[in-house]
């Protein structure tokens, strides 16, 4: 089995409160008053580790579910994998390209038509024009938007927007798909269809990382699971066993 | 230095994205309006009209060529002002995108600069017939406009990067900049001529305010039909300095910015 993602002791911190000029004010005052040493300890104490000592690995074709309560750092983990946040600790090895699933509406330009937004969204995710053109028919068909595809997105209902977003994501994908809480969009019929599509993608050997509070869907799709609590890795292992510990 | 070069080359790698960003922004700006892209032309024209009424009609100042003298410096100013004022909030308004996909961050100030550039060039298209109408001395020196556009690109891009980075740390900059830009315009020789500055202050004025030499150059090549004076090099110097400073800041801060949004 070839490892596609290998995370070792990944840690990321945010500085709380004292950013920008507040911090500068503080440091200026501190330097004048107490000297360099105090400044260091003071700013360090304000650091908040959103994730620390997270280690896991995924092989090609794995579906990794990430569970945890609100604010435990799940989305932060996805952002690290997407390359948005850089690590403060540890190492992260990724052998493949990544397609982040833009959360609903992110990157859509409201004044533009759905059709234009497919291209915009695709290019944002790093696809070439030709690649998008090759899929644009499928995307429109799957989204069931019909004539509406040429209407400005601002006239869409939230369900329509979600359908378009989902359709773009399932057709424009890279080696590793990142999904954050957007399974099951639209009405009942579309949800069934999208779940079927997800199954299809999973069977095609796609590597996926899913963050969700919906344990049912994690159970259904993921073969591996990690549970993160307050930025720390609680359990890593088979989905069943992790979920059992998580829910107990 | 190598990181700075990397940022720029990453920018070129994503030229597709820049094209789409700029294109869609422009579409969104003008598409749903009755007059569409004509606004890109009418906007600066109306601003000029207001100033012409103010200066020529109300204050009875400015000579016959005042409208074109003003317009030829108003256009580069508007480009700069647009780029600067949109860059200052560009990371904050694109926060959700920046936190989902990895970008070379300089892509956002680049967009602002290019949209401004588009409007600028349309403005020049309006300026051309006006130059004829107001009897400008049109010579081959007009062609200097092309290298000048490139230098302005560098200047605006550089300062836009600087503002975009500072804008993340100081939210107040948005408000401050609006005033600074307004005052900056009056402090630059657009509504008046460089020669109306007292002689002994002229040198220092031109050295300190990059727009003094820029506006003078534009008036020279477009209206007076003479080649740029050596003072243009002052603007070039500022352009290169700001560009390097901008790229330096953005590469230095690019790891921190996504976390701060």
Residue B11 neighbours by CB distance under 10 Å: 19
Question: What's the pLDDT at B158?
Answer: 96
Domains of chain A, earliest start first:
3-12+57-247 (3.40.50.300)
> Among all residues of chain A, which has the CA nearest to that of B25?
A109
For the record, the structure tokens of B165 come out as 């980075």
* Chain A residues in contact with B100 (beta carbon < 8 A): 79, 82, 84, 100, 102-103, 106-107
CA A174 to chain B, closest CA, distance in angstroms equals 13
Question: What's the pLDDT at A29?
Answer: 65
Q: What is the mean pLDDT of residues A193-211?
A: 88
Count how many residues are written for chain A.
Answer: 248
CA A242 to chain B, closest CA, distance in angstroms equals 27
**pLDDT for residue B234 is more than 70:** yes
Task: Give B115's pLDDT tier (boundaries 50, 70, 90).
Answer: very high
Query: Is the pLDDT higher at A98 or at A37?
Result: A98
Residue whose C-alpha is closest to residue B37's, from B46, B45, B47, B29: B29
Residue matched to tokens 């809480």: A181
For the record, the structure tokens of A50 come out as 């959103």
Across the interface, of B24, B169, B171, the residue whose CB is closest to A112 is B24
Q: Which domain holds residue B89?
A: 2-260
Query: How many Å apart are CA A216 and CA B201, to the nearest integer?
Result: 76
Q: Which letter does DSSP use for residue A154 in this model?
A: G
> ipTM of this model?
0.79
Tally of structural domains, chain B: 1
What Cα–Cα distance (Å) separates residue A124 from each residue in A128, A149, A162, A169, B162?
Answer: 10, 19, 17, 12, 24
Give A 145-204 residues with CB within 8 A of chain B: 152
Residue whose C-alpha is closest to residue A100's, from B257, B95, B97, B21: B97
* Chain B residues in contact with A84 (beta carbon < 8 A): 98-102, 258
Adjacent-strand bridge partners of A10: A54
- For the segment A72-92, what is each residue's pLDDT rounded down to a tens digit? 888 889 889 988 898 999 999
- Note the pTM of the prediction, 2 decimals: 0.87
For the record, the structure tokens of A132 come out as 């998008």
Q: Residues near B233 by Cβ (< 8 Å), separated by ≥ 6?
A: B213
Query: How many Å apart are CA A204 and CA A61, to the nearest integer?
Result: 8
Is the CB of residue A120 less than 8 Å from the CB of residue A172?
no
Phi, psi of B139 (to 5 degrees): -130, -175
Query: How many Å apart are CA A217 and CA A207, to the nearest integer?
Result: 16
Is the CB of residue A102 less than 8 Å from the CB of residue A177?
no
* Chain A residues in contact with B255 (beta carbon < 8 A): 86
For the record, the structure tokens of A133 come out as 């053109």
- For the segment B48-63, what is each residue's pLDDT rounded down to a tens digit? 899 889 888 888 887 8
- Torsion, Cα of B194, B195, B197, B201 (10° steps): 90
Q: Residues near A22 by Cβ (< 8 Å), separated by ≥ 6?
A: none
Is the CB of residue B236 less than 8 Å from the CB of residue B89?
no
Q: Answer yes or no: do B100 and A20 touch at CB < 8 A.
A: no
């Amino acid at each position: 089995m070839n490892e596609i993602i290998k995370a070792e002791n990944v840690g990321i911190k945010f500085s709380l409160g004292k950013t920008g000029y507040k911090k500068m004010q503080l440091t200026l005052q501190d330097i004048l008053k107490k000297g360099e040493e105090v400044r260091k300890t003071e700013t360090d104490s304000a650091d908040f580790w959103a994730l620390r000592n997270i280690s896991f690995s995924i092989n090609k074709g794995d579906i990794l579910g990430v569970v945890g309560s609100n604010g435990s750092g799940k989305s932060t983990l996805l952002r690290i994998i997407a390359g948005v946040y850089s690590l403060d600790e540890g190492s992260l090895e990724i052998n493949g390209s990544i397609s982040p699933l833009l959360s609903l509406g992110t990157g859509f330009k409201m004044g533009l038509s759905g059709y234009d937004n497919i291209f915009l969204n695709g290019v944002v995710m790093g696809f070439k024009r030709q690649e998008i053109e090759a899929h644009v028919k499928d995307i429109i068909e799957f989204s069931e938007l019909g004539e509406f595809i040429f209407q400005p997105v601002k006239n869409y209902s939230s369900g329509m927007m979600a359908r378009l977003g989902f359709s773009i994501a399932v057709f424009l994908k890279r080696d590793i798909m990142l999904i954050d809480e957007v399974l099951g969009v639209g009405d009942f019929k579309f949800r069934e269809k999208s779940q079927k599509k997800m199954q299809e993608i999973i069977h095609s050997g796609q590597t996926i990382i899913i963050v969700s509070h919906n344990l049912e869907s994690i159970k259904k799709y993921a073969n591996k699971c990690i549970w993160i609590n307050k930025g720390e890795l609680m359990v890593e292992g088979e989905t069943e066993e992790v979920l059992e510990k998580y829910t107990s | 230095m190598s990181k700075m070069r990397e940022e720029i080359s990453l920018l070129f790698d994503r030229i597709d994205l820049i094209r789409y960003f700029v294109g869609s922004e422009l579409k969104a700006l003008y598409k749903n309006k009755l007059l569409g892209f004509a606004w890109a032309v009418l906007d600066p024209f109306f601003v000029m009209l207001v100033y012409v009424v103010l200066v020529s009609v109300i204050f009875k100042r400015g000579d016959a060529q005042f409208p074109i003298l003003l317009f030829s410096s108003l256009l580069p100013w508007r480009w700069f002002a647009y780029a600067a004022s949109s860059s200052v909030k560009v990371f904050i308004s694109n926060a959700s995108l920046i936190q989902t996909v990895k970008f070379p961050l300089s892509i956002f100030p680049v967009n602002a600069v290019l949209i401004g550039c588009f409007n600028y060039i349309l403005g020049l298209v309006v300026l051309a017939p006006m130059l004829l109408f107001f009897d400008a001395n049109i010579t081959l020196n007009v062609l200097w406009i092309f290298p000048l556009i490139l230098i302005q690109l560098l200047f605006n891009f550089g300062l836009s990067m600087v503002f975009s980075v500072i804008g993340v740390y100081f939210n107040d900059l948005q408000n401050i900049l609006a005033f600074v830009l307004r005052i900056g315009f009056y402090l630059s020789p657009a509504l008046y001529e460089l020669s109306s500055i007292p002689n002994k202050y002229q040198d220092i004025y031109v050295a300190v305010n990059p727009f003094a030499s820029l506006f003078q150059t534009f008036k020279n090549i477009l209206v007076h039909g003479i080649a740029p004076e050596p003072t243009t090099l002052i603007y070039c110097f500022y352009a290169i300095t700001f560009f390097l400073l901008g790229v330096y800041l953005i590469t230095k801060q690019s790891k921190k910015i996504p976390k701060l949004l």
